[in-house]
Amino acid sequence: MREVANILFGAAFTVAVSVALGALLVVRLRLTLYRWEAELIEFVAGAGCLSFLIAILCTLHIARKGVFQWGGLAVIALALWQAKGAPRRKSLPAVPLTWMAAFFLIFSTFFIYYFFNALAPEVSPDGTGYHLGNVVRMWRHHGFDWNYPSMYAYLSQGTEMLFLVAFTFGRHSAAALVHFAWLCTLPLLMVCWGRRFGFAKAGLFAAILIFASPVIGKDGISAYNDLAVATMIYAVFYLLQVWDESGSSNLLILIGLLSGAAYGAKYTAFLTLPFALAWVWFSRRHFPNRRNLLCLLLPALVMIAPWTLRNWFWVGNPFAPFFNSWFPNPYYHAGMERIYAESLRHYTGMKHNWEIPLQLTLRGGFDGGIFGPVFLLAPFGLLALRFKSGRRLWLAALVFALPAYLNTGTRFLIPSAPFPTLAMGIGLAEVPAALPVLMLFHALVSWPPVLSTYCDPWNWRISSFPGRVALRLDPVAPFILKSIGDFALKLPIELAVPSGERIFSFAGRPEAYIDRDIIVSYESTLGNLANDILWSPQAHKPANAQHFKFLPVTTRGVRVVNIASGTDFWTVSEMRLRFQGRELTRSPAWRLSAWPNGWEVQLAFDNNYATRWSTWEAIAPHARIQVEFPAAERVDEVVLECEPAWSARLQVEVLLDTGRWVPLTDTPELVKTDFAPGIRRAATREMKALGLRFLLVNEGDMVYADMKKYPTFWGITQLAEANGTHFYRID
């Protein structure tokens, strides 16, 4: 039970510090808020501030338990001292008691079910993968781990900052409980909105639709960040309407702060700030002025700054891991970004787009979760367009649904979901008994055991009530293992891999549970390189040589330039220069360069067929690979040993004394060649040189069959196997 106490303390302490910070802020800004509403807004605003402060501590590498503990207690003490003698806040307009009772009955029932699920060991894929994987690394390093290359480490991590505080005291489940706090905040805030703006029943109805929604419940009990983002966005929308009434510039500061914090929580909330700016700009009630906009913009920029500046200095790309074409850097390839983004943008398995509404509401097999069948009635929300509030709700719904175009997962619609739900409540409010009936029906069909009877079997959802394991009365390992097969490899890995050494994996792993860093194939340039090396014996063993022959020239430089466009990558395993049939000896004084992806140009000059330089971008004119000599050399042939890129059109150019590059030939002779044997050994040797001596390979990975058949040729030994994942050591 001590473990449970630690978990509860970790989560409760984080929430308490957030509320305290928020309370201090609200008082400083002299904002007038109603009871209930104030506490919720204080939590949301305080969490944004806490996240900002922890990000700074992480940058300075002083994110330690003592700092959190004493700093947090000081903030709580200050807030309590400030609250002493403060006047009691006014209540929001009343709601009929029967409505309130029904709301709290349903809310409490789901709350208990959710609470025990959040308290149980964390087993969500992204939660145990990168959300808490990043948190564990930060916890180990007392701040950001600048040496760990992963696209997920470059994302803004505002919610993870809160997780870090909770994790320090209560580990994984404490972090999940913090996210659960966001899940509870959102519907309560919706109720407040309804009461404040005259749509109390619609607010209660929508709050239950959101809270009981299966995908929202599952997401909210996991160490994800979607509910934090959704709540911040919703709070911005809420406060903008409060600002419409009050016109307080100080309120704009809070709105700006929340807009920035939303971006800090997740990049997909990037529209929050433009939305708020546009709202203020187009507000008819208060004549827009520069001061108002600055009140909004500056706090937002301050909250965004830790993430953009961190990535700017760390990766050279303020928006990493996106926009790598605009901000080329050696940590994440633009081509990998494109492949990754494409993979998220399409529904797989669906035959027609008409299936999307059913997938989102009833089935959930292809898009990872459902909102519930009642959401099929969302078009009735259009009836709310009669009201100004309804029009605003639909505007927000459309704006905040836009990021879902970039990722088809159901949970990417969560930030937008409260708005059409409220609109539905407003639209159907005048239909007798419609709201209570629908509310009860939704609660019934969203109740996890009922849900399992009609949704797709692999729909992402809460599927059990893990009461005993949540209270740690049952051992946690079997529970985790049931959802995360790789957990079985934790012990073999931690026994075999020395502390500080990294493991390579083609697929993502539950990093939060494995006390070693894992380099994943698609998460960084290092991962791409390791992946490419291991694939070389099968996927791109160099079997072709392109010979460009020309009359002998004396030159200070040679380059091969592409002059065509294509969709594939141009790769070069080795670039060799010859004169009269003999290769020019490569000298450390040679100056090598390439564009794009010049950082990896040495891979084409290392005499190793397991490595290759690649544009890592779609082939474009002016892509080049270039050598400059310290003194003039005689050359009459350039050989590119590679898999030919058929859409590329290459020409050899030499450097004149005048500094001009002159084309010599664009006609290669393609020769199929038997290269030196031992490419498997070359691949593993190179992996070791990269510091990657251990491999995690799934049976579905391309190399697995070959590794299983020829372990001696690879020079590897299998150390363990569990649930289709094989753990190898390179000997």
Partner 1 sequence: MRLLYSHFVIHRILLLVIGALLTVSCGREPGVYAAPPQRSIDLGPDPDGPHAFVNMDDPVVDDYLVNDISPERGFRRWAFTHPELRFRTNDVRHLIFTAEFAIPEVTYKVTGPVTVSYAVNGRTLGAIRCDHAGDFRLEKPVPDGLVEPGKFVRVTFEANPRWISPDDGAQLSFLLRSAGFIH
Q: Nearest distance from residue 628's CB to partner 1, in Å?
A: 8
Q: Nearest distance from residue 455's CB to partner 1, in Å?
A: 33
Under the binding rule (CB under 8 A), the answer on residue 591 touching partner 1 is yes
Interacting stretch for partner 1, rule CB under 8 A, among 357-365, 405-413, 662-670, 673-681?
673-681
Under the binding rule (CB under 8 A), the answer on residue 597 touching partner 1 is yes
Which DSSP string do the residues of 278-336 spell out, in sequence order?
Answer: HHHHH-SSS---HHHHHHHHHHHHHHHHHHHHHHHHHTS-TTTTS-TTTS--SSS-HHH
Member of 586, 661, 666, 698 binding partner 1 (CB under 8 A): 586
Which residue matches tokens 């190399």? 703
Under the binding rule (CB under 8 A), the answer on residue 676 touching partner 1 is yes
Under the binding rule (CB under 8 A), the answer on residue 587 touching partner 1 is yes
Under the binding rule (CB under 8 A), the answer on residue 314 touching partner 1 is no
Q: Identify which of residues 326 and 441 has a Cβ nearer to partner 1 in the complex.
A: 326
Q: Identify which of residues 89 and 540 has a Cβ nearer to partner 1 in the complex.
A: 540
Under the binding rule (CB under 8 A), the answer on residue 543 touching partner 1 is yes
Under the binding rule (CB under 8 A), the answer on residue 316 touching partner 1 is yes
Interacting stretch for partner 1, rule CB under 8 A, among 117-125, 341-349, 463-471, 603-611?
603-611
Under the binding rule (CB under 8 A), the answer on residue 330 touching partner 1 is yes
Q: Could you tell me the two tokens for 230?
A: 């959704």
Q: Could you tell me the two tokens for 379?
A: 């078009």
Handedness of CA 629, 635, 641, 646 (dihedral sign): positive
**Pairing relationship of beta strands 518-520 and 725-730 according to DSSP bridges:** unpaired
Under the binding rule (CB under 8 A), the answer on residue 595 touching partner 1 is yes
- Distance, in Å, from the CA atom of 108 to the CA atom of 106, rounded to the nearest integer, reads 6
Which of these, 557, 558, 542, lies nearest to 665 by C-alpha position? 558
Under the binding rule (CB under 8 A), the answer on residue 329 touching partner 1 is yes
Q: Is the backbone peptide bond immediately before 321 cis, with ω within 30 degrees of 0?
A: yes
Q: Could you tell me the two tokens for 56?
A: 């700074």
**Pairing relationship of beta strands 650-655 and 624-642 according to DSSP bridges:** unpaired
Q: Nearest distance from residue 479's CB to partner 1, in Å?
A: 37
Under the binding rule (CB under 8 A), the answer on residue 335 touching partner 1 is no
Q: Are 112 and 217 in contact (CB under 8 A)?
A: no
Under the binding rule (CB under 8 A), the answer on residue 706 touching partner 1 is yes
- Residue 148 CB neighbours (<10 A): 21
x-marked contacts with partner 1 along 225-244 as a string, rule CB under 8 A: --------------------
Q: Identify which of residues 71 and 644 has a Cβ nearer to partner 1 in the complex.
A: 644
Member of 109, 554, 593, 723 binding partner 1 (CB under 8 A): 593
Angle (CA) 335-341-346 rounded to 5° is 130
Interacting stretch for partner 1, rule CB under 8 A, among 115-123, 157-165, 311-319, 482-490?
311-319
Q: Are 47 and 18 in contact (CB under 8 A)?
A: yes
Member of 464, 598, 661, 665 binding partner 1 (CB under 8 A): 598
Residue 575 three-state SS? strand
Under the binding rule (CB under 8 A), the answer on residue 317 touching partner 1 is yes
Q: Nearest distance from residue 314's CB to partner 1, in Å?
A: 11
Under the binding rule (CB under 8 A), the answer on residue 723 touching partner 1 is no
Under the binding rule (CB under 8 A), the answer on residue 525 touching partner 1 is no
Under the binding rule (CB under 8 A), the answer on residue 87 touching partner 1 is no
Under the binding rule (CB under 8 A), the answer on residue 607 touching partner 1 is yes
- Residue 279 CB neighbours (<10 A): 21
Under the binding rule (CB under 8 A), the answer on residue 338 touching partner 1 is no
Q: How many residues bind partner 1 (CB under 8 A)?
A: 51
Residue 138 three-state SS? helix
As a dihedral over the C-alpha atoms of residue 486, residue 489, residue 491, residue 495, rounded to 10 degrees, the angle is -140
Which residue matches tokens 């309370």? 23
- Distance, in Å, from the CA atom of 327 to the CA atom of 320, rounded to the nearest integer, reads 8
Under the binding rule (CB under 8 A), the answer on residue 568 touching partner 1 is no
Under the binding rule (CB under 8 A), the answer on residue 716 touching partner 1 is no
Which of these, 315, 318, 336, 224, lies nearest to 270 by C-alpha position? 318
Q: Nearest distance from residue 682's CB to partner 1, in Å?
A: 5
- Distance, in Å, from the CA atom of 511 to the CA atom of 122, rounded to the nearest integer, reads 12
Which of these, 634, 631, 636, 628, lies nearest to 605 by C-alpha position? 628
Under the binding rule (CB under 8 A), the answer on residue 608 touching partner 1 is yes
Q: Could you tell me the two tokens for 289?
A: 């002025």
φ, ψ at 242 (rounded to 5°): -65, -40
Q: Identify which of residues 383 and 543 has a Cβ nearer to partner 1 in the complex.
A: 543
Member of 146, 340, 347, 590 binding partner 1 (CB under 8 A): 590
Q: Give the residues lining the site for partner 1 (CB under 8 A).
A: 312, 316-318, 326-330, 537-538, 541, 543, 586-595, 597-599, 601-602, 605-609, 628, 672, 675-682, 685-686, 702, 705-706, 709-710, 713
